[in-house]
Structure 1
Amino acid sequence: MRRCRELHTMVPSQSLRYWLLPLVAHFCLSAGRAAAGKVSAIIVLGDSTVDPGNNDFIPTIAKSNFPPYGRDFDGGVATGRFSNGRLVTDFVSEAFGLPPSVPAYLDPGYTIDQLAMGVSFASGGTGLDDLTPRIASVIPLRQQLEYLKEYQERLRVAMGSAAADEIIAEALYIFSIGTNDFILNYLALPLRPAQYTAAEYVAYLVGLAEAAVRDVYDLGARKIEFTGLAPFGCIPSARTLNRDAPGECDEEHNRLALMFNEQLREAVRRLNVDLAGAQVVYAETYSVLSAIVANPSDYGFENVAQGCCGTGLIESSVLCALDEPLTCPDADKYAFFDSVHPSERTYRIVADHLLNTALRVFL
């Protein structure tokens, strides 16, 4: 993987990066596959950034199992992923020599034998704060942890305790959650701001994140990654709703992300001291997404201010279906597929970044 980092430093800037970066990413993903066996499975908890379709099987409006979503996924199928194709966790799974996509736990089309190599309990619209999933009637993190317990029991029944426990101990557990607590909850509704200052709410969320890591540790997890927040003030919907500077990134939102990330780093340090035999890593994504937004042409993007779906200004989920005829012809030119979620090409770049940084210790 050191060679991957060297290749990144050799890639020239501006237009040539559009052609060379995908090749570098492919090389790095292939290098990761050579390390197959070090991680038994990819086990995912979180929100829409890592939900491969669990929301398809619950009564919520927060769905994406219809066009134009999934149009660049294998077979052009809208699986319930909030993107035109694969997610970061799908690329990470492939890099570890596991299946090229991580299935949704609630999808009845998968057997426990298939889920043994990877599973996602994530739910689009959820958060660390229990109030957040209630807004869109989605799966709380505490319920995702209950599903994890159920999954482990199913593994033991199917494979025996020894084999199941080995999978559980050698799996990589990925958390990607927290943005909705701000954009759907604290910044949109009055209840939490009446109870907490921004700094207090950040501390509250980080405490919940730390508790969730301790919970999966108690269930046998030893390889754990917690993803920091991206600059969510730069997602297209945040630009559209930015009253002070319409069309520009909302820097106040970005400061909340940075505050959360700094405290999450400290929590990860504590966890590594406290949890014997565990390796917990903080996965930094803020810088890579900020770089894409600041210098899109370096990464081959033509548009970072709008999503590919519809007008790109506010559409997400069902609104993308309503404005499907307006959807862009080539999502690879857009950093975001809808007004909230990245395109597959952005997810691939982020996955490559994580494989060369936080996840490198597990390869």
Structure 2
Amino acid sequence: MKSPCPSVSALVRFTLLLLLVSCKANGAVELAPNVSFPAVLVFGDSIVDTGNNNNNFKTSARCNFPPYGNDFTGRIPTGRFSNGKVPSDLLVEEFGIKEYLPAYLDPNLQPGELATGVCFASGGSGYDPLTSQSATVISLSGQLEMFKEYIVKLKGHVGDNRTNFILANSLFFVVLGSNDISNTYFLSHLREMQYDVPAYSDLIVNSASNFFQEIYELGARRIAVLGAPAVGCVPFHRTLRGGIERKCIEKYNNAVVLFNDKLSKEIHYLNQNLPSSRIVYFDVYNPLLDIILNHKKYGYKVGDRGCCGSGNLEVALTCNHLEPTCPNVLDYVFWDSFHPTESVYKKLVPALLKKHIHQFV
């Protein structure tokens, strides 16, 4: 008589496999049985950059040093502009894909990571080519070239058919526009002398539209586009232009609202003209503004200063190991003078996905 052990063992293995699959798929986002997101591919700026600027010593838009990463696993400063995870990481975590989204330019990136997604974002980048040029970072066209290179590598790793499936079913996440309005238009005045606000918003919306169509032509179908946040309420601008009371700069926020409105309408137009496209506008302006202005309602004590240094101006190279950090980062909406804390991202990302996930089906 044969031992029953092999069949029991097989049953155990099968049960464990089911549990593993269940755990992997058990992110906070509930998907229909026939829906999957095999990978997440991210384009954008410092909100979603996971380390692509680390080896670019020509730019000040770097943060691969303490105290950045203070609450990341192992307290490692990875190049994420936060105390911990950024939205890129939370997306793959919510979908149950993996724990972190690696930077495409990470020298330790493994080929096996390609099939589940990478990040092409570069801190300091924008829809306006001048934004990236002035910050000496990877432009949107540069991120597009990296994506093309990624496709070639992915085909070499998993083949053409699987690559096409991954591109058609993955979530493409685009986060840009803040630096254009905040830095290129208002702070440096590089574009303010050439365009009024409506004309400049047209320029960057046109650039955004061209980019969405370019990645669509390369196979992208599910594209999430974040509107710009209320840049007039970040600590940096409140310090420089908010007066003694450090109020939000309404002129900046009004420009963002105009841009977001035009961006949303352009996305609606593209969805009607690009077959099988699912381009979805995510409003981050209102939920984040509510957290900033009504921070106590969300459990925060400070909404107008960052945790790093004085919290008024420190960001990137000026937020470093020589600067003290706040006693409890969970009390703060902002980590530095531009970027929210991991805690805030954990409130925003799941809520946004829950609100919009059905639109990708």
Length-normalised TM-score, structure 2: 0.89
Rounded Cα–Cα distance in structure 1 between residues aligned with 2:320 and 2:263:
36
Q: CA deviation at 1:147?
A: 0.3
Task: Report what 1:62 is aligned to.
Answer: 61
CA-atom RMSD in angstroms: 1.7
Deviations 1:48-80 (A, max 9, x none): 000000000223221111111011111111110
Kindly state the Cα deviation for residue 196 of structure 1 after the two structures are TM-superposed.
Answer: 0.8
Aligned equivalent of 1:143: 142
Q: What amino acid is aligned across from residue 202 of structure 2 in structure 1?
A: A
Q: Is the 8 A contact 2:65 2:321 kept in 1?
A: no
Task: Report the residue type matching 1:53 in the other structure.
Answer: G
* Contact 1:169/1:221, CA 8 A, preserved across alignment: yes
For 1:267-306, list aligned pairs within 5 A: 267-306=266-305
CA contact (8 A) 1:43 1:174 kept: yes
1:193-216 per-position Cα deviation (integer Å, ceiling 9, x unaligned) = 121111100111111111110010
Tell me what 2:112 maps to: 113
After TM superposition, give the deviation of residue 296 of structure 1 in Å: 0.9
Structure 2 regions of 5+ residues with no counterpart?
1-25
Deviation at 1:35, TM superposition (A): 6.8
**Alignment partners' CA distance in 1, 2:155 and 2:29:** 32
- The residue aligned with 2:17 is none
How far apart, CA to CA, are the structure 2 residues paired with 1:33 and 1:360?
8
The letter of the residue matching 1:357 is K
Q: Provide the residue aligned with 2:318 in structure 1.
A: 319
What per-residue deviation string (whole Å, max 9, x for no partner) do you get for residues 271-310 of structure 1?
1011101111000111111111221111111000000000
Which aligned segments of 4 or more residues in structure 1 are displaced greater than 6 angstroms?
Answer: 33-37
TM alignment of 1:35-74, pairs within 5 A:
38-59=36-57, 60-74=59-73
The Cα of 1:112 is off from its aligned counterpart by 2.2
Deviations 1:144-199 (A, max 9, x none): 00000000000001111111111111111000001101222111223311211111
1:216-227 pair list within 5 angstroms: 216-227=215-226
Instruction: Determine if contact 1:91/1:101 at 8 Å carries over to the other structure.
Output: yes
- Give the one of 326, 348, 351 matched to 1:353: 351
* Correspondence for 2:326 among 325, 328, 331: 328
Written as runs of structure 1 = structure 2, the 5 A alignment for 1:69-218 is 69-218=68-217
Cα-to-partner distance string for 1:310-356 (whole Å, 9 max, x where unaligned): 000000011110542x2112111100000000000011111022112
Aligned-partner residue type, residue 109 of structure 1: N
Question: What secondary structure, in the 3-state scheme, does the structure 2 residue paired with 1:226 have?
Answer: strand
> Match of 1:328, as an amino acid?
C
Relative distance call for 1:315 and 1:93 in structure 2 (3 A) is same
Instruction: Mark the CA change 1:294 to 1:134 in structure 2 (over 3 Å): closer, same or farther.
Output: same
Q: Note the residue ranges of structure 1 that are not aligned, 5 or more in a row.
A: 1-27
Higher RCO (C-alpha under 8 Å, 6+ residues apart): 1
Select the structure of larger CA radius of gyration: 2
AA aligned to 1:146 is: E
State how far apart, in whole Å, the 1-side matches of 2:97 and 2:104 are: 16
SS in 2 for 1:281: strand
Instruction: Please give the alpha-carbon distance, in whole angstroms, between the structure 2 residues aligned to 1:188 and 1:298.
Output: 31
Structure 1 residues 283 and 360: CA distance shift in structure 2, 3 A: same
Number of matched residues?
335
Q: CA deviation at 1:246?
A: 4.2
Normalising by structure 1, we get a TM-score of 0.89
Alpha-carbon distance in 2 for matches of 1:272, 1:172:
16
Q: Which residue of 2 aligns with 1:342?
A: 340
